[in-house]
Amino acid sequence: MKAVILVGGKATRLHPLTANLPKAMVPVLNTPFLEHVIRHLSRHGITEIVLSLGHLAEPVEAYFKDGSGFGVKLKYVLEDSPRGTAGGIKNVEKLLDGTFIALNGDVFTDLDISVMIDFHRQKKALATIALARADDPTHYGVIETDAESRILSFREKPAAGEATGNMVNIGTYVLEPEALAQIMSRTEVSIERQTFPQLLTQGKPLYAYASSAYWLDIGTPDKYLKLQADIMSPDLSGLDIFNPAQSVRVGQDSNVSPSAQITGPVLIGSGCFIGNRVQLVGPLTIGDGCNISAESVIENSVIWTGAWIGPRVCVKNSIVADHCYFQANSVVEEAVLGDNVTVCEGSHITPGSRIASGTVVERTA
Q: Taking residues 4-11, report their average pLDDT.
A: 87
Please give the pLDDT value at position 357. Answer: 97
Q: Which residue has the higher pLDDT, 10 or 164?
A: 10
Please give the pLDDT value at position 160. Answer: 65
The answer, yes or no, to whether residue 318 has pLDDT greater than 80, is yes
Same domain, 230 and 256: no
Residue 89 CB neighbours (<10 A): 25
Residue 50 lies in a domain: yes
Same domain, 216 and 257: no
Same domain, 20 and 93: yes
Same domain, 229 and 263: no
Rounded to 10 degrees, the C-alpha dihedral 351/354/359/361 comes to -10
Residue 239 lies in a domain: no
> pLDDT tens digits, residue range 180-199?
988 888 888 999 889 999 99
Question: Which structural domain, as residue segments, surrounds residue 74?
Answer: 2-234
Residue 122 lies in a domain: yes
> pLDDT tens digits, residue range 280-314?
999 999 999 999 999 999 999 999 999 999 999 99
The answer, yes or no, to whether residue 348 has pLDDT greater than 80, is yes
Nearest to 40 by CA among 116, 129, 126: 116
The answer, yes or no, to whether residue 61 has pLDDT greater than 90, is yes
Same domain, 323 and 196: no
What percent of the chain has pLDDT above 70?
97
Q: CA-to-CA distance for 303 and 295, rounded, in angstroms?
A: 17
Mean pLDDT of the chain: 93
Same domain, 182 and 269: no
Residue 32 lies in a domain: yes
Please give the pLDDT value at position 167. Answer: 82
The length of the chain, given as a count of residues: 365
Please give the pLDDT value at position 202. Answer: 95
Residue 22 lies in a domain: yes
Q: Taking residues 341-350, report their average pLDDT.
A: 96
Contact 140, 168 (CB under 8 A): yes
Categorize the per-residue pLDDT at 172 as very low, low, confident or very high, splitting at 50, 70 and 90: very high
Same domain, 356 and 230: no
Q: Taking residues 210-230, report their average pLDDT.
A: 94
The answer, yes or no, to whether residue 361 has pLDDT greater than 70, is yes
Same domain, 24 and 150: yes
The count of domains in the chain is 2
Same domain, 151 and 254: no
Q: Taking residues 7-22, report their average pLDDT.
A: 89
Q: CA-to-CA distance for 264 and 243, rounded, in angstroms?
A: 11
Please give the pLDDT value at position 83. Answer: 84
Contact 250, 268 (CB under 8 A): yes
Q: Taking residues 151-172, report their average pLDDT.
A: 78
Return the CATH number at 301. Answer: 2.160.10.10
Return the CATH number at 121. Answer: 3.90.550.10
The answer, yes or no, to whether residue 158 has pLDDT greater than 70, is no
Same domain, 276 and 180: no
**Which of 63-67, 160-164, 167-171, 318-322 shows the lowest mean pLDDT across its residues?**
160-164
Residue 242 lies in a domain: no
The structure's pTM equals 0.93
Question: Of 167, 201, 234, which residue constitutes the final position of a domain?
Answer: 234
**Which of 9-18, 60-69, 318-327 shows the lowest mean pLDDT across its residues?**
9-18
Residue 171 lies in a domain: yes
Same domain, 192 and 73: yes
Same domain, 152 and 289: no
Residue 48 lies in a domain: yes
Question: Of 211, 234, 257, which residue constitutes the final position of a domain?
Answer: 234
Question: Of 234, 258, 290, which residue constitutes the final position of a domain?
Answer: 234
